[in-house]
Structure 1
Amino acid sequence: MAEEQKKEPRISTISSTFKLWLVAIIFFLTFFHLYAIYNYPQARIISNEVLLGLVLTLVGYLWIQELRDRERLQAINLALIKAQRQLEHAEIDTIAALILAEEAKDPYVRGHSKRVTRCAVELAQELGFSQEQRKTIERAGILHDIGKIGISDAILRKPDKLNEEEWTVIKKHPRRAAEILEPLRFLTKEKEMICHHHERFDGKGYPDGLKAEEIPLGARILAVVDTFDAMNSERPYRKSLAEDAITSELKSACGNQLDPGVVSAFLGLLKKKPSLWEREG
């Protein structure tokens, strides 16, 4: 800790008041010299060379200090940006820990968010996403089901088909997730992906009935890997599906529930990386 504090840049810039005094001195010397030349042309109170030397020295000193101050301020700004990012990571980690703790209570969804995140990041890389875009997908993946916090376990773990009232509650969770994350203003793109990861490619999804390209690409990626993990996991009412059955279901969902291009890329990825089939928790 002490070592980190030593590395932190210190604010030791020259005060603005002192700089103003130096400027005032330069102005005064110049004015005094011109006044003396005009009113006492024969008197040589201070030579032009000496005055020029003084003025250049003071101006040079101010210029050097200004450069040093700018470097210090840049270092301070970088330190503040680093601290802000650390705070953002801490906030996300705290929320993620809460989500994983909630999932751990249910053996059927334990590790779901981590698996969705892993598959989503791999798929984003397969689709040519930049490192920063993959980080956005990663954050959206781990947080995508936060809207389910607060929904009754009786609904979430119900072994039978949900009735209309229960289904209405479930359909609110993407919007609720965006509302929960609203105070975290740096998660703008993530909130958009999370809010729309249950939209359907044919426009029959929720919460806004977006279709095709209207749905953010990140949300379409989450939709594919979320659907995949649901079929690849056991539920109270069924066993996990076989690999052939999952592949067939994903293909059948192309164009109606899921984006055909994203599904195609994901199926290719599953062939290249069969470890994605493993249910790591």
Structure 2
Amino acid sequence: MIPPLRSTPSRSLALAYWRQKTARRAAARPSASNLLDILLDGYCVLDEEGRIQHTNPALESLLACPAHQLGGRLLLEFIEPSCQTDFLSLLELMKYSRSRIGPLEVEMKTAAGEPLAVFLTLAPSPNGGRELAQVLLRDVSQWRQVQNELVAVNLMLEQSFTDTLEGWAKALELRDYETHGHTQRVAEATVQLALEIGYRLEEVLNLRHGALLHDIGKMAISDTILLKPGPLNEAEWEIMRRHPVYAEQLLRQIDYLRPAIPIPYCHHEKWDGSGYPQGLKGEQIPLEARLFAVIDVYDALRSSRPYRPVPWSEERTLEHIRQQAGTHFDPEVVKAFLKMKNFD
């Protein structure tokens, strides 16, 4: 049988030390009210009417209003009219679900009327009674400002990049003045046709880039072939047919331009499989390249060239495109193009 422990001086001292240490820890542990005082986010409790009952220093700072002036005021007073319906809906949802709801981005204003953007979160009040909800408000005004600045910088970079692409296209046209303006015209017309068949506005950027760069591979073709006034022989045609491959090899090294590759690489493919450089057939050809092929041929026939000084008429050009549906062109794309031209 194990004898009971007897109190010894050393054991008494150890127990006293442990009680003292535990008491110090309890005294040092922050209370709920202390935590609210040091909380960086604004906090308040709303009663059943949506009036502010309790606040913390962060909320007073956020709304630029002392606690004695906040008490009893409707939180709705500080919320912009455009966001009040969303806030009330969130409050109702929290009330009936009895669960935490949010965060919701809300436009607010300070007591002085200064604009304020916050993430607002609601939770049921644990005290019950007339207290309906706890509200946490996180200031995101600086975050939004940074976000807006990043968007502005991104748009500026996007425009700079587009300007660079257009510069490349114009540099190519300088080698062959007979095609002056062709690149810009086909880029705009391709975007128009894409929107006609259902592309969304945000989807056409890569398509436009591809149209601008459709002949970039010709930078690798010598002037003796590119600018030859007469017909090309078979050997010269073999070299000329390599320009889509050169375009693909150039653009695939640039991450930003990889989505634009289908037009430069595939715009000489034909619906019946007789095109180049891969001999793709039907829907094997990317849709953007099928769109561009119609636009490219239309603009070429409507423009003067060394081998065709007099452009074709509008009627003759559109009839040619109609006749090439199912051989050179995707028949459905031709239908959409003729509808766009009011020639269906």
Shared fold by TM > 0.5?
yes
| Greater strand content | 2
Identify if the C-alpha distance between structure 1 residues 195 and 36 changes in structure 2 by more than 3 Å, giving closer, same or farther. Answer: farther
1:275 corresponds to: none
2:87 corresponds to: none
1:266 aligns with 2:337: yes
Gaps of 5+ in 2: 1-14, 43-57, 63-118, 120-137
Instruction: Note the C-alpha offset of 1:233.
Output: 1.1
Of 221-230 and 208-217, the range deviating more from structure 2: 208-217
Instruction: Note the C-alpha offset of 1:83.
Output: 2.7
1:53 aligns with 2:30: no
2:221 corresponds to: 151
Identity, in percent, stands at 35
Identify if the C-alpha distance between structure 1 residues 225 and 36 changes in structure 2 by more than 3 Å, giving closer, same or farther. Answer: farther
Paired residue secondary structure (2:329):
coil
Determine if contact 2:293/2:329 at 8 Å carries over to the other structure: yes
Instruction: Note the C-alpha offset of 1:62.
Output: 7.2
1:39 corresponds to: 19
The aligned runs of 1:1-281 (5 Å cut-off) are 39-40=19-20, 51-58=31-38, 60-61=39-40, 72=142, 75-76=145-146, 79-80=149-150, 82-238=152-308, 239-271=310-342
Equivalent AA in structure 2 for residue 170 of structure 1? M
Instruction: Note the C-alpha offset of 1:270.
Output: 1.6
Counterparts of 1:146 and 1:269 in 2: how far apart (Å)? Answer: 28
- Normalized against structure 2, the TM-score is what? 0.59
Identify if the C-alpha distance between structure 1 residues 75 and 184 changes in structure 2 by more than 3 Å, giving closer, same or farther. Answer: farther
Gaps of 5+ in 1: 1-34, 273-281
Of 80-89 and 181-190, the range deviating more from structure 2: 80-89
Counterparts of 1:236 and 1:137 in 2: how far apart (Å)? Answer: 29
Identify if the C-alpha distance between structure 1 residues 41 and 225 changes in structure 2 by more than 3 Å, giving closer, same or farther. Answer: closer
Identify if the C-alpha distance between structure 1 residues 55 and 157 changes in structure 2 by more than 3 Å, giving closer, same or farther. Answer: same
Identify if the C-alpha distance between structure 1 residues 182 and 40 changes in structure 2 by more than 3 Å, giving closer, same or farther. Answer: same
Higher RCO (CA-CA < 8 Å; seq separation 6+): 1
Instruction: Note the C-alpha offset of 1:260.
Output: 0.9
Paired residue secondary structure (1:209):
coil
> Can you list the C-alpha shifts for 1:195-247, whole angstroms capped at 9, x where unaligned?
11111111121222211111111110110000111111111122212223212
Identify if the C-alpha distance between structure 1 residues 36 and 126 changes in structure 2 by more than 3 Å, giving closer, same or farther. Answer: farther
- Normalized against structure 1, the TM-score is what? 0.71
Counterparts of 1:56 and 1:229 in 2: how far apart (Å)? Answer: 70
Instruction: Note the C-alpha offset of 1:41.
Output: 9.6
Equivalent AA in structure 1 for residue 321 of structure 2? L
1:9 corresponds to: none
Instruction: Note the C-alpha offset of 1:38.
Output: 6.0
Of 96-105 and 230-239, the range deviating more from structure 2: 96-105
Aligned residue pairs, count: 236
Identify if the C-alpha distance between structure 1 residues 42 and 144 changes in structure 2 by more than 3 Å, giving closer, same or farther. Answer: closer
Counterparts of 1:81 and 1:42 in 2: how far apart (Å)? Answer: 54
Question: What RMSD over aligned residues (CA atoms) do the two structures have, in Å?
Answer: 3.4
| Greater helix content | 1
Determine if contact 2:165/2:212 at 8 Å carries over to the other structure: no
